[in-house]
Amino acid sequence: MTYLLALDQGTSSSRSIVFDEQGRSVAQAQLELTQIYPRPGWVEHDPLEIWRTQLATARAALHQAGIAASAVRAVGITNQRETTVLWNRKTGQPVHHAIVWQDRRSEPACAQLRAQGHGAAIQARTGLLIDAYFSGSKLQWLLDHVPGARAQAERGELAFGTVDSWLMWNLTHGQLHATDVSNAARSMLFDVHENRWDDALLALLRIPRSLLPEVLPSSAHFGDTAPDLLGHGIRIGGVAGDQQSALFGQACFGAGMTKNTYGTGCFMLMHLGARFQTSQNGLLTTSAAQIAPERAYALEGSVFVAGAVVQWLRDGLRAIAHSGEVEALARSVPDAGGVLLVPAFTGLGAPYWKPDARGTITGLTRGSTLAHIARAALESIAYQSAALLQAMGRDAAAAGAAPVHELRVDGGACANDLLMQFQADLLGIPVLRPAVIETTALGAAYLAGLSSGVYRSTHEIAQLWRAERRFEPSLDSARAQELMANWERAVRQTTA
């Protein structure tokens, strides 16, 4: 039997999964990650905790599977993308906590770039809108605010990376400083047409080129893990940012195929094939996971708060004791009773891009209960996702492409049947939940399997995809349009 090991380093946890060659999960281990909130709008992680938990889960998953590291053909890595780590090349020690993708501290610098008129040029080269979301402005903040960091960087003493780079550095005891195209494309420093760091953008953000990792295709031989870490050196054969990895794991290889991941945030990607298209509807164009030498792009919409709204119900309102209780509470009422919750806790992402927006609850009456708020919280995830797909549909129509005919879903919250049915009702198309919902990790395993010869082609991988459940729309289209109009009205109230 051939095995692949996926390291899935996410926002809320580090997880490792052992897959067999049929894409079936054999064993997995997971450890929660501490969330650090120094100020409102700031979110950090301890990079050393990221590394410790990821290594511990890798060891635990191999132990649980009952296999030695020598039985693993390759390792695939997938990661929370824009989260930014800066460390000392000699000591391997971080110079600051990692700045998480949700963090908004670099918004003033981004506002200045927008005011200076750089938006169009940056979008043309990177596919991205200027926003604090991306790692380039976070790196700029670290260089400007960590004492001595800029001087050290100018002397070539520091290394920058997203979480994939940080893991590879540690997995190889500092021998490998690399990333893949899909992660580099989220930096606002990378020319996605040429697949290289952009000198003009580096100069604009005052970032020394010596900080940057080497960029490789997503499926490649990056290096090998140090033998002492897992008991045997293993080829690192695949790397992709979590959302591009999920697109790959969902076998969305053809133009127009679309997936939505329901995690801490919500991330919808539509594959564009080899054609770069600038969105006119508030979406991003990003590099999809790439197999050399092919270019591959995707339209992406990002919802900043999705599953995190359930955590807020648990930890903030204390409406539930455990996240798994939310569906039962929401089902205890027939509908949200006119309540709409816009969870703009850290601003609104695509297609609105309102960084200063803050959450609101509208439609409250004397009859409103925690159950109505819980249902509104769940429905907010579907509303935000529907707004993304509508924006994608407008971009696709402008390019002469066919409308999306189905949505493939994954991530922890897609296990919620109430949410998935409401999503299908709003969209008016089937929502397909796969047999393996850990598609982020699966995509990394598939990428590693391709580079190491386990799979011969993406066609072979596509044959492994199976649906576990298909949610058909059951709501009248006029009613769905009315609900969306109500949602957009609530968003306008939030951003007024």
pLDDT tens-digit map of 128-184: 989 898 999 999 999 999 999 999 999 999 999 999 999 999 999 999 999 999 999
Structure-block tokens of residue 250:
């969902």
Distance CA 388, CA 372 (A): 24
Q: Which residues contact 459 (CB under 8 A, 6 or more apart)?
A: none
Distance CA 409, CA 32 (A): 23
**What mean pLDDT is reported for the chain?**
94
Structure-block tokens of residue 401:
């492409």
pLDDT of residue 210: 96
Q: What b/e readout covers 144-153, taking b as 16+ CB neighbours within 10 angstroms? A: eebeebbebb
Lowest mean pLDDT among 82-96, 156-170, 356-370: 356-370
What mean pLDDT do residues 105-120 have? 95
H or E element at residue 144 = helix 135-145
pLDDT of residue 144: 96
How many residues are there in the chain? 496
* Degrees to nearest 5, angle at CA 98 with 159 and 141: 75
Q: Which tens digit of pLDDT belongs to each residue from 328-348? A: 999 999 999 999 999 998 888
pLDDT of residue 263: 82
> Percent of the chain scored above 70 by pLDDT?
100
Q: How many CA atoms lie within 13 A of 232 on its CB side?
A: 13
* Contact indicator for 447, 289 with CB cutoff of 8 Å: yes
98-99: strand order across its sheet: 44-45, 98-99, 84-88, 158-162
Domain regions of the chain by residue span = 3-243
On the question of a cis peptide bond just before residue 108, with omega within 30 degrees of 0, the verdict is no
pLDDT of residue 359: 92
> Is pLDDT of 350 > 90?
no
Distance CA 10, CA 424 (A): 27
On the question of a cis peptide bond just before residue 351, with omega within 30 degrees of 0, the verdict is yes
pLDDT of residue 302: 84
- The pTM score is 0.89
pLDDT of residue 88: 97
pLDDT of residue 324: 85
Distance CA 119, CA 141 (A): 19
* Contact indicator for 419, 263 with CB cutoff of 8 Å: no
Residue with tokens 């195209």: 181
> Percent of the chain scored above 90 by pLDDT?
80
Dihedral sign computed on CA atoms, order 444, 13, 41, 419 = positive
Distance CA 310, CA 213 (A): 36
Distance CA 400, CA 404 (A): 12
Q: Decide: helix, strand or coil at residue 29.
A: strand
pLDDT of residue 140: 97
Q: Decide: helix, strand or coil at residue 190.
A: strand
pLDDT of residue 199: 96
Lowest mean pLDDT among 220-224, 315-319, 338-342: 315-319
pLDDT of residue 412: 84
Distances (CA, A) of 84 to 3, 57, 245, 340, 488: 31, 22, 19, 34, 33
DSSP one-letter code for 212: P
Distances (CA, A) of 17 to 83, 235, 465: 22, 16, 18
Residue with tokens 């407008």: 394
What mean pLDDT do residues 300-317 have? 89
Query: Which one is predicted more confidently, 348 or 419?
Result: 419
> Is pLDDT of 65 > 90?
yes
Residue among 326, 294, 289, 321 at smallest CA distance from 310: 326
pLDDT of residue 146: 97
Give helix then strand counts, H and E, for the chain: 17, 23
Query: Which one is predicted more confidently, 48 or 436?
Result: 48
pLDDT of residue 51: 98
* Superfamily of 3-243 according to CATH: ATPase, nucleotide binding domain (3.30.420.40)
Distance CA 361, CA 163 (A): 35
pLDDT of residue 489: 94
* Degrees to nearest 5, angle at CA 36 with 33 and 37: 145
Q: How confident is the model at residue 442 (pLDDT cuts 50, 70, 90)?
A: very high
Query: Which one is predicted more confidently, 68 or 1?
Result: 68
Q: Which tens digit of pLDDT belongs to each residue from 39-53? A: 988 999 999 999 999
> Is pLDDT of 109 > 90?
yes
What mean pLDDT do residues 418-428 have? 95
pLDDT of residue 362: 94
Structure-block tokens of residue 172:
């190889």
